[in-house]
Amino acid sequence: MKKLLFLFFVCQYAFAQNSDSVFVSKIYSEILSNGKAYDNLRFLCKNIGPRLSGSIGAQKAVEYTQKLMASYGFDRVYLQDVMVPHWERGAKEEAYYLLNGKKIKVEIAALGGSVATGPNGLSAEVVEFRDFNELKEAGIEKVKGKIVFFNRPMDPTKVNTFAAYGGAVDQRGAGASQAAQYGAIGVIVRSMNLRSDDFPHTGGMRYSGGNMIPAAAISTNGADALSLAIKSNNNLKFYFKQNCKTLEDAPSYNVIGEIKGSESPDEIIVVGGHLDSWDLAEGAHDDGTGCMQSIEVLRVLKALGYKPKKTIRAVMFMNEENGLRGGTKYADEAVKNKEKHVFALESDSGGFTPRGFGIVGEEGDISKIEKFKELFVPYSIHEIGKGSGGADIGPLAKTGTVLLGFKPDSQRYFDYHHASTDTFESVNKRELELGAAAMASMVYLLDNQK
Amino acid sequence: MKKLLFLFFVCQYAFAQNSDSVFVSKIYSEILSNGKAYDNLRFLCKNIGPRLSGSIGAQKAVEYTQKLMASYGFDRVYLQDVMVPHWERGAKEEAYYLLNGKKIKVEIAALGGSVATGPNGLSAEVVEFRDFNELKEAGIEKVKGKIVFFNRPMDPTKVNTFAAYGGAVDQRGAGASQAAQYGAIGVIVRSMNLRSDDFPHTGGMRYSGGNMIPAAAISTNGADALSLAIKSNNNLKFYFKQNCKTLEDAPSYNVIGEIKGSESPDEIIVVGGHLDSWDLAEGAHDDGTGCMQSIEVLRVLKALGYKPKKTIRAVMFMNEENGLRGGTKYADEAVKNKEKHVFALESDSGGFTPRGFGIVGEEGDISKIEKFKELFVPYSIHEIGKGSGGADIGPLAKTGTVLLGFKPDSQRYFDYHHASTDTFESVNKRELELGAAAMASMVYLLDNQK
């Protein structure tokens, strides 16, 4: 009898695995044959474009995604108020250095949150450092009154480019305040880009005490040329002008679409991306793809007639790039309304071929999700395990939510990240769709998890 | 004592694994920091360009790769004579159909090996089929004197795009002879491309009996539009003109670079790609990347001061695209000279992020190579197992050589394959380099295999 019982459970398990693999295959077929994410992304990128928090583009993106989800007939589509920072670049930056009496023009972009230089710009000797230790060693006497140039490249030997980013981005985020401590009057930072090209990559920076000095990114080619010029010219003079400003906080929204759970409607699974983007391009990979994939997850489940057991929400978070106000507000509201978020999945690493999912949670939660690995092997997805979730869903951790980060191939991400190259054309339709299918499959499996 | 002996062997094994992982890591660091494959590929694509067998470009590519390998100081660099087919496209094709009295122009490209239409072109009613069964069902009375249009798309639901290619390419390879059996006078084939765009993709075709009728590829957008036009217009007339011709076989070469083995010089490991390319673009992914990666494998081993035990050869095969004469000749010479080829690895699936290696060999050979899996996990490579090798190394199978095919991510390959889009710009430097590093690591591990 015991043996029979055991056999019964083994069969049950095999049957569940089999029906899961059948449904996952349906998800892939629907998205690869009739997927809408690519066309929706085209609209977001080409008809709306840049959508930094507080901008008209951001507001249009709110309205577009609300209408789009309503058009798919989700059970509920609504907005969640959130006040966001409002920073504007203003007129295009100018920069050059003087080499043997000649002005060598340079492509720069003000970092998000930076102050302006004033209408006459800034001109001073430029000194180069690789990191904050070198800056500290140089000290006030070598830095005061100068422009500091941080030029440590992302480490190309890291196979995962996010690790290379993590090892270099302190220069962008904290470089201005670090340099200001030693009396610098401005900061130029090598772009967070592994490629040699002419595009400056902007991104968030923060002032943490000291004078608020202007900070800008310089393209990787520009950084290499500037570094060479400094080596061959003592006291090289650098000039830059930027016209950015921080305005009053502005009203904005998270955009939420929901399919109500049929068995446990109070248990919520979130799948999301962030709707805001930097202002230099179209925010295609960062993070139009994550938003359009998240909407596609709900669309495909509905199109296949699937009735989720738990409530499934697609959330377009506002203001990931320069404040995280949307993600913070969403978690605060969840706490206030005593909502039970069991899982949250974010796609904010680009619309490239899926490689896996990172998980943040208790050991037991992680090992349960790792069991799905086998189901993903036919789709060339192998990396499911402990990892990182996503910035916007991070604040949900305090409510005990298990967080998942969608993990696509990372090689090309920093070619586009925060630069004018992050356009619709840089997205491959199949790669985007395979991501959406992987996410939908994961959401389906999580929905069926006891 | 037995226990001690066991421990000793375990430690030996662990030590070997560890020193392997250290060397693999050195390979990756060298290539990701100082890799030359990308710049070499730029030269091949931009300074030489298209290099169909028998063309001036092919000859220049022979000379360039010979010089390049000589400049790296490989132990021996030499050419292997091979006579190759010589087909030329001639003047650009013209095509249109008549819709409500208007000429709708269409982008087509003659298929490689096709005959010309004659100077006045061909004009006839066009009939559409999805496959050879539909053609057969229609029979002579519906096909005779007409132009046959094969329009079965590659199956987008196949996750591996090579499977989708395999399921559609019969139309291109055999469509003309199949249609000629029923009296068709010309054939138009939907391009082997999963993307909707305006670029015709050429590729090889063969006549196998029946009349030799002209055959051309039409872009996917063109195919969709033509199909719609046929549906709304009985007896739609199609016109096309192409000017291609087959010339006398031409002399050409395989280009071979070699590092002599220090312990077993008579055992040979080949790593290669094919040097010839279709004439519409620069043959970047097909197969400039495979050639430049193969040369990079030998370069990095030498740069790291590694003395291979076996002899390692980089082979640039000539004429994969329309004859396989180079691969065939190479294997014939190996047999004639009683060379012992233990392993052959080909890269001919594009310069994209590595996913794994396919293996062709005895079960025992395969399982030995599968043991390397663990060493590749840190590099996000998971798919090592039974699979396919490569066209050029295929003829070596008869000598008992274990064949390996480098397996990169397949999603974007057919966006470029045989079309004017296959340019240097479509290659990402890191993706190319990661492929070279994976290949060099595999060659190193095979060299150390007992």
Nearest residue, CB atoms, A353 vs list B382, B409, B415: B409
Question: B379, A159: Cβ pair inside 8 Å?
Answer: yes
Mutate to test the interface with B, among A159, A414, A427 (most CBs of B within 10 A): A159
Please indicate if any CB of chain B lies within 8 Å of the CB of A383. yes
Cα(B330)–Cα(B343) distance, integer angstroms: 14
Please indicate if any CB of chain B lies within 8 Å of the CB of A195. yes
Answer whether residue B422 shows pLDDT above 70: yes
Strand partners, A88: A245
Cα(B190)–Cα(B151) distance, integer angstroms: 5
Distance of CA A401 to the CA centre of its chain: 20
Question: B430, A194: Cβ pair inside 8 Å?
Answer: yes
Answer whether residue A209 shows pLDDT above 90: no
Mutate to test the interface with A, among B24, B155, B353 (most CBs of A within 10 A): B353
- Mean pLDDT value across residues A103-107: 96
What is the 8-class DSSP label of residue B36?
-
Using a CB-CB cut-off of 8 Å, the residues of chain A touching B424 are none
Question: B380, A431: Cβ pair inside 8 Å?
Answer: no
For B415, name the nearest residue in chain A, comparing CA atoms only: A428
> Residue B101: what pLDDT?
87
Cα(B408)–Cα(A161) distance, integer angstroms: 18
Q: Is B84 helix (H, G, I), strand (E, B) or coil?
A: strand
The terminus-to-terminus CA distance of chain A in angstroms comes to 26
> Residue A450: what pLDDT?
75
Question: B157, A29: Cβ pair inside 8 Å?
Answer: yes
Mutate to test the interface with A, among B22, B285, B410, B411 (most CBs of A within 10 A): B411
Provide the percentage of residues in chain B whose pLDDT is more than 70.
96
Size of interface A-B (CB pairs under 8 A): 65
Answer whether residue A413 shows pLDDT above 90: yes
Cα(A270)–Cα(A313) distance, integer angstroms: 5
Answer whether residue B308 shows pLDDT above 60: yes
Please indicate if any CB of chain B lies within 8 Å of the CB of A60. no
In angstroms, the separation between the Cα of residue B169 and the nearest Cα of chain A is: 19
Please indicate if any CB of chain A lies within 8 Å of the CB of B431. yes
Question: B29, A415: Cβ pair inside 8 Å?
Answer: no
Higher pLDDT residue, A44 or A12?
A44
> Residue A14: what pLDDT?
61
Distance of CA A150 to the CA centre of its chain: 23
Closest by CA position to B161, among listed B425, B423, B411, B450: B411
* Number of Cβ within a 10 Å radius of residue A250: 16
Closest by CA position to B371, among listed B271, B302, B446: B446
Mutate to test the interface with A, among B159, B165, B383 (most CBs of A within 10 A): B159
Nearest residue, CB atoms, A353 vs list B194, B411, B428: B411
Residue B27's identity, in one-letter code, is: I
Please indicate if any CB of chain B lies within 8 Å of the CB of A379. yes
Answer whether residue A4 shows pLDDT above 70: no
Nearest residue, CB atoms, B159 vs list A33, A161, A380: A380
Strand partners, B344: B270, B403
Q: Which two tokens stand for residue A201?
A: 């990559």
Please indicate if any CB of chain A lies within 8 Å of the CB of B411. yes
Taking each continuous run of H as one helix and of E as one strand, the counts in chain A are 13, 16
Question: A156, B33: Cβ pair inside 8 Å?
Answer: yes
pLDDT (tens digit per residue) in A45-96: 999 999 999 999 999 999 999 999 999 999 999 999 999 999 999 999 999 9
Q: Which two tokens stand for residue B441?
A: 């690591």
Q: What confidence category does residue B210 fall into, taking pLDDT thresholds of 50, 70 and 90?
A: confident
Q: What confidence category does residue B7 fall into, taking pLDDT thresholds of 50, 70 and 90?
A: low
> Residue B15: what pLDDT?
62
Question: B412, A434: Cβ pair inside 8 Å?
Answer: no
Q: Any idea which residues of A carry the catalytic annotation? A: 320
Q: What confidence category does residue B434 fall into, taking pLDDT thresholds of 50, 70 and 90?
A: very high
* Number of Cβ within a 10 Å radius of residue A193: 27
Question: A32, B156: Cβ pair inside 8 Å?
Answer: yes
pLDDT (tens digit per residue) in A331-361: 999 999 999 999 999 999 999 999 999 999 9
Q: Are B14 and B241 in contact (CB under 8 A)?
A: no
> Residue A317: what pLDDT?
99
Nearest residue, CB atoms, B411 vs list A159, A355, A428: A428
In angstroms, the separation between the Cα of residue A78 and the nearest Cα of chain B is: 33
* Number of Cβ within a 10 Å radius of residue B359: 24
In angstroms, the separation between the Cα of residue B64 and the nearest Cα of chain A is: 25
Provide the percentage of residues in chain A whose pLDDT is more than 90.
94
Using a CB-CB cut-off of 8 Å, the residues of chain B touching A373 are none
Question: A431, B411: Cβ pair inside 8 Å?
Answer: yes
- Mean pLDDT value across residues B253-279: 98
Please indicate if any CB of chain A lies within 8 Å of the CB of B195. yes
The terminus-to-terminus CA distance of chain B in angstroms comes to 26
CA–CA–CA angle B72, B77, B82 (5° rounding): 140
Q: Is B288 helix (H, G, I), strand (E, B) or coil?
A: helix
Nearest residue, CB atoms, A411 vs list B156, B353, B382: B353
Q: Which of B320, B321, B339, B431 is catalytic?
A: B320
Which H helix or E strand runs over A399? Answer: none
Q: What confidence category does residue B13 fall into, taking pLDDT thresholds of 50, 70 and 90?
A: low
Cα(B343)–Cα(B345) distance, integer angstroms: 7
Q: What confidence category does residue A234 fall into, taking pLDDT thresholds of 50, 70 and 90?
A: confident
> Residue A403: what pLDDT?
98
Question: B409, A378: Cβ pair inside 8 Å?
Answer: no
Using a CB-CB cut-off of 8 Å, the residues of chain B touching A409 are 353, 380, 409
Cα(B328)–Cα(B391) distance, integer angstroms: 10
E strands, B89-129, are 94-99, 102-105, 108-110, 122-129
Question: A159, B353: Cβ pair inside 8 Å?
Answer: no
pLDDT (tens digit per residue) in A159-193: 999 999 999 999 999 999 999 999 999 999 999 99
Which H helix or E strand runs over B360? Answer: strand B354-360
> Residue B9: what pLDDT?
56
> Residue B252: what pLDDT?
98
Cα(B181)–Cα(B211) distance, integer angstroms: 8
Please indicate if any CB of chain B lies within 8 Å of the CB of A434. yes
Using a CB-CB cut-off of 8 Å, the residues of chain B touching A159 are 28, 32, 378-380, 434
Provide the percentage of residues in chain B whose pLDDT is more than 90.
94
What's the mean pLDDT when you consider all of chain A?
96
Answer whether residue A329 shows pLDDT above 60: yes
> Residue A16: what pLDDT?
67
Using a CB-CB cut-off of 8 Å, the residues of chain A touching B160 are 380
> Residue A100: what pLDDT?
86
Q: Is B98 helix (H, G, I), strand (E, B) or coil?
A: strand
Question: A32, B157: Cβ pair inside 8 Å?
Answer: yes
* Helices A429-447/A289-303 angle, 10° precision: 60
What's the mean pLDDT when you consider all of chain B?
96
Cα(A268)–Cα(A345) distance, integer angstroms: 11
Residue B259's identity, in one-letter code, is: I
Question: B353, A380: Cβ pair inside 8 Å?
Answer: no
CB crowding B262-283: b at 16 or more within 10 Å, else e: eeeeebbbbbbbbbbbbbbbbb
Question: A412, B431: Cβ pair inside 8 Å?
Answer: yes
Using a CB-CB cut-off of 8 Å, the residues of chain B touching A353 are 353, 409, 411
Q: What confidence category does residue A101 fall into, taking pLDDT thresholds of 50, 70 and 90?
A: confident
Please indicate if any CB of chain A lies within 8 Å of the CB of B355. yes
For B430, name the nearest residue in chain A, comparing CA atoms only: A411
> Residue B58: what pLDDT?
98
- Mean pLDDT value across residues A247-276: 98
Which H helix or E strand runs over B26? Answer: helix B2-34
Please indicate if any CB of chain A lies within 8 Å of the CB of B32. yes
> Residue B5: what pLDDT?
56
Closest by CA position to B84, among listed B119, B60, B50, B58: B58
ipTM above 0.90?
Answer: yes
pLDDT (tens digit per residue) in A398-410: 999 999 999 999 9
Answer whether residue B6 shows pLDDT above 70: no
- The residue assigned the tokens 């592994």 is A194
Residue A91's identity, in one-letter code, is: A
- Mean pLDDT value across residues B364-377: 97
Active site residue B94: no
State the alpha helices, DSSP H only, in B144-243. 161-166, 170-181, 220-232
What is the 8-class DSSP label of residue B204?
B
Q: Are B268 and B75 in contact (CB under 8 A)?
A: no
Please indicate if any CB of chain A lies within 8 Å of the CB of B304. no
Question: A195, B429: Cβ pair inside 8 Å?
Answer: yes
Q: Which residues contact B245 (CB under 8 A, 6 or more apart)?
A: B87, B88, B90, B115, B116
What is the 8-class DSSP label of residue B157?
T
Min mean pLDDT across A230-234, A424-428, B165-169 is at A230-234
Using a CB-CB cut-off of 8 Å, the residues of chain A touching B409 are 353, 380, 409
Domains annotated on chain B, with CATH: 20-87+248-447 (3.40.630.10), 90-243 (3.50.30.30)
Q: Are A294 and A67 in contact (CB under 8 A)?
A: no
Q: What confidence category does residue A12 fall into, taking pLDDT thresholds of 50, 70 and 90?
A: low
Please indicate if any CB of chain B lies within 8 Å of the CB of A130. no
E strands, A29-136, are 76-88, 94-99, 102-105, 108-110, 122-129
Please indicate if any CB of chain A lies within 8 Å of the CB of B353. yes
Please indicate if any CB of chain A lies within 8 Å of the CB of B160. yes
